[in-house]
């Protein structure tokens, strides 16, 4: 659905999934920073922080949190800048890089990942509400369906309503985390309860899991940064959510788990005396984060099926995401995060090389999209190589950096750059779009 063919009655739903964002829709980098920062205060981050802290120990986990945050900030700065300079959604950018048909595979993979996150958050939300209201397990479907419906309706109003929610709720979420921090510091002299023994992680796997927590959002950051008025604001959008807020929240969770001896996020928050603050954190974070997940997922599907009606796609995807809650991905959260990191980090490396090095920052021209190759095999091969290199690192210890997510990014960038230059010499063609 494009701005040229869309009916006037649907203008309020249009977030320009296939066309550049007009200047009238630009906003400040600070507002986008609030939206992205809201993701870090989500309940899955507390769960991940608790698990990583118990499996690594607090000291090592803190270093992993900071390293992962730095990797995310660097990736996010360059991917977000691509969006700001082109004013296009990530899914349109991926079409220019992977080819019109090749991009469909990438975009569908992103859609599946977003639906997985949607299901995890709905599952967390329903389980938390059952504990808070002391409801029976039979109430799970009611909480899941109601939550899914409210989030879907929110997403129908697009980035403007998500922006409003973030502006309203992020200060509350910050206050809750600061309260947790004060309770942790106040309990400094209390005996630390040993954590439940779990399978240990290597440092590289832990960093990759931290990266995996936000890598999909980092790669898809152009969906939001294309609305930023000034490209110079990208440093704020990259540094605050990924380098400061993300490690901060993970650290609070890890230390809180050590102090309370709890491995369940809601139980930990209640043990720290949050009470209704725990309820607010669960509701607000799930609402905001899942609205963002569904919003990005709808953009992905719109790029694969451009003739579909945007609001109908959002509704169908909202139903699918609600059903995904039944797959219990929460039980395998760290593993899920690790494979997200090694699968999607290479995509960021590839399109950064494409725009900044091969095209030398020449903006993508939507009017010429139909003239590009159907499949860019250099990008597809580089993507696969990046995933393979990171798995090789995890399974056999053959690594460039000892951090699997970084291996995935660097190897895919090198392979894509070399293959593109070789193919250009063989064909004699220069990049034209």
Q: What's residue 97's pLDDT?
A: 94
Q: At what angle do helices 333-352 and 58-86 cross, to 10 degrees?
A: 40
pLDDT in 10s for each residue of the chain, 433 residues: 333 433 333 443 457 877 899 998 899 999 899 888 877 877 788 889 998 998 888 889 999 999 999 999 999 999 999 999 999 988 789 889 999 899 999 988 988 898 988 888 888 888 777 877 777 767 788 888 888 888 888 888 766 677 677 667 777 777 878 888 888 777 655 544 444 446 678 899 999 999 999 998 899 899 889 999 999 999 999 999 999 999 999 999 999 888 888 777 777 887 888 777 777 777 777 787 788 788 878 877 887 887 778 788 899 999 998 888 877 777 788 888 999 999 999 999 998 999 999 998 999 998 888 888 899 999 999 999 999 999 988 888 888 898 999 999 999 999 999 999 998 888 766 654 5
**Distance set, CA 145 to CA 123, 286, 310 (Å):** 11, 14, 21
Tokens standing for residue 256: 């809180």
Per-residue HEC secondary structure of the chain comes to CCCCCCCHHHHHHCCCCCCCCCHHHCECHHHHHHHHHHHHCCHHHHHHHHHHHHHHCHHHHHHHHHHHHHHHHHHHHHHHHHHHHHCCCHHHHHHHHHCCCHHHHHHHHHHHHHHHHHHHHHHHHHHHHHHHHCCCHHHHHHHHHHHHHHHHHHHHCHHHHHHHHHHHHHHHHHHHHHHHHHHHHHCCCCCCCCCCCCCCCCHHHHHHHHHHHHHHHHHCCHHHHCCECCHHHHHHHHHHHHHHHHHHHHHHHHHHHHHHCCCCHHHHHHHCCCCHHHHHHHHHHHHHHHHHHHHHHHHHHHHHCCCCCHHHHHHHHHHHHHHHHHHCHHHHHHHHHHHHHHHHHHHHHHHHHHHHHHCCCCCCCHHHHHHCCCCCHHHHHHHHHHHHHHHHHHHHCCCCCCCHHHHHHHHHHHHHHHHHHHHHHHHCCCCCC
pLDDT of residue 159: 64
Q: What is the pLDDT of residue 60?
A: 92
Q: What is the spatial distance between Cα 361 and Cα 380, in angstroms, rounded to a whole number?
A: 21
| 8 A C-beta contact, residue 408 and residue 387 | yes
List beta partners, residue 27.
228
Question: What's the pLDDT score for residue 194?
Answer: 44
Looking at domain 33-332, its CATH class is: mainly alpha
Q: Quick one: tokens of 19?
A: 């066309």
pLDDT at residue 38, rounded to an integer: 76
Backbone angles phi, psi at 399, to 5 degrees: -140, 150
For helices 404-427 and 58-86, angle between their N-to-C axes, nearest 10 degrees = 30
Q: What angle do CA 242, 244, 247 make, to 5 degrees?
A: 80
pTM, entire model:
0.82
Burial class from Cβ neighbours inside 10 Å (0-12, 13-18, 19+) for residue 95 reads buried
């Amino acid at each position: 659905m494009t701005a040229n063919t869309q009916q006037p009655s649907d203008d309020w739903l249009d977030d320009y999934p296939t066309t550049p964002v007009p200047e009238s829709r630009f906003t400040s980098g600070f507002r986008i920073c609030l939206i992205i920062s809201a993701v870090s205060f989500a309940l899955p981050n507390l769960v991940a922080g608790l698990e990583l802290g118990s499996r690594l120990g607090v000291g090592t986990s803190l270093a992993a949190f900071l390293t992962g945050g730095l990797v995310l900030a660097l990736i996010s700065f360059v991917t977000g800048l691509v969006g700001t300079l082109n004013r296009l959604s990530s899914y349109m950018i991926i079409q220019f890089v992977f080819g019109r048909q090749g991009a469909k595979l990438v975009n569908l993979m992103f859609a599946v990942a977003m639906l997985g996150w949607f299901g995890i958050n709905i599952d967390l939300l329903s389980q938390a509400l059952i504990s808070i209201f002391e409801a029976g397990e039979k109430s799970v479907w009611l909480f899941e369906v109601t939550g899914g419906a409210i989030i879907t309706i929110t997403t129908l109003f697009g980035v403007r309503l998500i922006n409003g929610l973030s502006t309203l709720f992020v200060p509350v979420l910050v206050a809750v985390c600061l309260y947790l921090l004060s309770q942790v510091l106040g309990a400094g002299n209390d005996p630390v309860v040993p954590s439940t023994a779990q399978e240990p992680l290597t440092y590289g796997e832990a960093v990759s899991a931290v990266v995996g927590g936000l890598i999909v959002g980092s790669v898809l950051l152009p969906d939001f940064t294309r609305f930023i008025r000034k490209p110079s604001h990208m440093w704020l959008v990259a540094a605050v959510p990924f380098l400061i807020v993300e490690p901060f929240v993970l650290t609070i969770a890890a230390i809180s788990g050590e102090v309370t001896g709890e491995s369940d996020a809601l139980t930990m928050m209640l043990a720290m005396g949050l009470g209704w603050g725990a309820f607010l954190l669960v509701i607000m974070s799930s609402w905001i984060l899942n609205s963002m997940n569904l919003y990005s997922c709808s953009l992905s599907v719109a790029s694969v099926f451009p003739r579909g009606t945007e609001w109908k796609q959002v509704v169908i995807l909202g139903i699918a995401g609600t059903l995904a809650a039944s797959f219990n991905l929460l039980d395998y959260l760290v593993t899920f995060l690790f494979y997200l990191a090694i699968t999607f980090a290479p995509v960021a490396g590839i399109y950064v090389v494409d725009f900044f090095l091969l095209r030398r920052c020449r903006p993508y021209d939507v009017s010429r999209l139909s003239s590009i190759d159907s499949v860019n095999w250099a990008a597809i091969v580089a993507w696969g190589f990046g995933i393979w290199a990171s798995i090789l690192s995890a399974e056999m210890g053959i690594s460039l950096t000892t951090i699997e997510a970084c291996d995935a990014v660097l190897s895919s960038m090198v392979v894509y750059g070399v293959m593109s230059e070789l193919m250009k010499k063989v064909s004699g063609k220069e990049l034209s779009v």
